[in-house]
Amino acid sequence: MNSADVKPEDIVKMKKPHPCGANRWRVIRVGMDFKLRCCECDRFVRMKRKKFEKSFAEILEKAEE
C-alpha cells in the first residue's frame, strides 16, 4: 500500500512515533502536503508529500465512504 491510497479521515501508522508516544494519526488533509492529527494528544502536524511518503508505514483504518 502506498501513500496514494490515503484519504482524509483514514487512520495511518508512521514509522516513528510522536513525542507523546502514539503511533496512530488521523489524516485531515491530503494534497501537496498532508495535515495529520495525533490520535493520542490531538496535536496537528503538517508535512510535505515527499516526507509523508518516506515516513508512512501503513493504513490502520480506512474512512467510511
Please report the domains of the chain, with CATH numbers, ordered by start residue. Answer: 3-61 (2.30.30)
- Cell numbers that stand for 33 in this block: 502536503
Q: What is the pLDDT of residue 1?
A: 62
Proportion of the chain in helix, strand, coil states, percent, rounded to 5: 15, 40, 45
Written as one letter, the residue type at 65 is E
The pTM (predicted TM-score) of the whole model is: 0.86
The set of residues, in sequence order, having a beta carbon less than 8 Å from that of 49 and lying 6+ positions away, is: 3, 31, 32, 33, 34
Could you list the mean pLDDT of each consecutive 10-residue stretch along the chain, which spans 65 residues? 83 93 94 94 95 93 84
